[in-house]
Chain A
Amino acid sequence: MAAILVYSEQADTALELVGAARGLAPQLGLTVSAAVLGAEAAGTAAAAAALAAHGAAPVYVCTEPALEGLDTAVVTQALAHIVEQAGASVVLLGSTRRGRELGGRLAQRLGAGCVTDAISLTVEDGLLVAGRYNLGGATVQRETIATPVQVVAVMPKIFEAGEPGGAGAGEAVVAVSAELAAPAVKVVDRRPKEGQAVDLAAAARIVGVGRGLAKRDDLPLTEALAAALGAELACTKSLADFGWMADDRIVGLSGAKTAPDMYLAVGISGQVQHTVGIAQARIIAVVNQDKDAPMFALADYGVVGDLYKLVPALVERLKTL
């Protein structure tokens, strides 16, 4: 019986994908297996045990030294090997930055079609249908893949990890040895980003900040607004890429999917990559100096103007609330 093979370098994302695969497998007539890759034995063993406990059977574990640093070209070789060993016809990857990069390369090696950044997976007429944002996020394009092996990179936090158990709970872990080329890309340095953990998905009020903010030194302005509103501070992906805020404060396609009572967007243009993370907000308020900013299309309430004047005015007004 052919298999769905699940892989993500992020342990929690891999568990979500196993959850998704367990839902799809009966409709597609496939089994659920998983792969764990990494040069470090203890971490890979723990990840494999968790995947097995959640119903992936078997879990293929490859700990070749060449996987140190998880160079995309090397991971591609290892996964292609496991796809063949597992008889996989569907490969589910996590659409993190690493996973998205891996998707294209693995698909090319396997002669496969591929969908990245999938936000939905369904089975229609016996076919796997993956939905993803298209045209800058204005639409959702639903696609099927016509090749014998299908590669789909799924956005994190779309599916639930599910409960431990399932068909093969706790079954075999298979050690895989593969001949892998040494990585051609060297990791010279890896350092953590700044910032404290925050759970935006659970926040009742959120102030989101975008590139309308001119410089990092101006962040206290928006922090004061968030504090006055009793809100969490969040940002667009650009600001996190600048290093101004930690990745766990990103709202959108590559960050948190939020559902607050109130989302106040400050200096955010409103690219869909961001707004997909606030579609479930009950009330959306917008502060932006560009009256044509796409963000206003999603506004319940909006003010057009200079955030450097409006934010202090909002803080002042909130003092009298």
Chain B
Amino acid sequence: MDIAVCVKTNPDLQLMRVKDRAPVLEAVPFKVGDLDKNALEAALLLRDAAGDGRVVAVTVSEGDRKIRETMKEALAIGADEAVIVSDPALDQSDQAGVALALAGAIGKAGPFDLVLFGEGSTDGYSGQVPSRVAELLGLPEIGYARSLQSTGAVLRAERSMGESIETLETALPAAVTVVSEINEPRIPSLMNIMKAGKKPVVEYALGDLALDAAAVAPRRAVRSNLAEEQSRKHVLFDGEPAAQAEALINALVAEGVLGR
């Protein structure tokens, strides 16, 4: 089973600060998107269950994000190959341009039985790119899979939608997004980290995919990106659990939100 996994390079939001309501991203390290790791894990399990095939991690350059390091991480996790679309014209792209580049790369590096994504990126979390790529490639699409099985020709997925749990089936090839509950992503072993450097990495420019700067120009403009205002008291109670419980309940009673 040949599987493409789309991987986004995200800033590590745990290390991001907010100053004067503005996000401070300088010196924040980059990493493989959280849900992209679930997608990689799902791909590796499907490949191994099928007994043959390859898992190819596909990414698109976005400004100064360190995509080559991220792809090394994806290869260490277990992808067999990496495909990178790198072009200065992609620096300002939004979901539409990224989807065009991904679809072009998937078409060129394929064919694939399955294209996997996390259901959203760690930073923007718009969820647009998977649907856009599916439309561009004319693939059936299953979003939010929390389990996946393949019989080779047919893919079966379970997902949680509003008030119901659905079981879905589609013929391959298909595009699928996964949620974090689907699996526990593996931590790369030292051996696999060493091996990652020797795995094949292919780079395309936009021209290799019959795309140009105009095709990937942004469709949206950002007016502002600021934190909402919040003020809280930040009182912490130390001690043994019983003492902490006592102090917390007393505080809530004093606030008038508990008791008489």
Contact = CB atoms under 8 A, between A and B. Distances in A.
A107 interface: yes
Interface in A275-302: 279, 282-285, 294, 296-302
Nearest to A240: B160
Interface in A130-153: 132-136, 138-147
B235 A300 contact: yes
B175 to A, nearest CB: 10
Interface stretch (B69-77, B82-90, B206-214, B225-233): B225-233
A280 to B, nearest CB: 10
Contacts of A215: none
Contacts of B253: 321
B203 to A, nearest CB: 25
A63 interface: no
- Interface residues of A toward B: which range? 35 or more
B17 to A, nearest CB: 9
Task: Pick from B227, B234, B241 the residue with the most CB of A within 10 Å.
Answer: B241
A203 interface: no
Given A142-B225, A301-B235, A314-B248, A101 B168 contact: no
A97 B162 contact: yes
A234 B74 CA distance: 36
A113 B248 CA distance: 48
Contacts of A238: 180-181
Contacts of A101: 127, 130-131, 141, 143-144, 177
A184 B162 contact: no
B257 A105 contact: no
Nearest to B223: A142
Contact of A303 (B181, B220, B227, B236): B236
Nearest to A151: B128
A241 B96 contact: no
Interface in A301-321: 301-306, 309-310, 313-314, 316-318, 321
Contacts of A314: 245, 248-249
19 contacts: A73-B140, A98-B161, A100-B143, A108-B136, A113-B94, A135-B124, A145-B219, A186-B169, A187-B166, A188-B168, A192-B164, A242-B181, A243-B165, A246-B163, A273-B125, A300-B233, A304-B238, A310-B241, A318-B249
Interface of B: 11, 13-14, 16, 18, 21-23, 94-96, 99, 122-132, 134-136, 140-144, 146, 156, 160-171, 174, 177, 179-181, 218-228, 230, 232-238, 241-242, 244-249, 251-253, 255, 257-259
Q: Sort A-B residue pairs by CB-CB distance and give the 8 closest, nearest first.
A: A113-B219, A104-B131, A104-B128, A184-B140, A313-B245, A105-B131, A189-B167, A262-B257
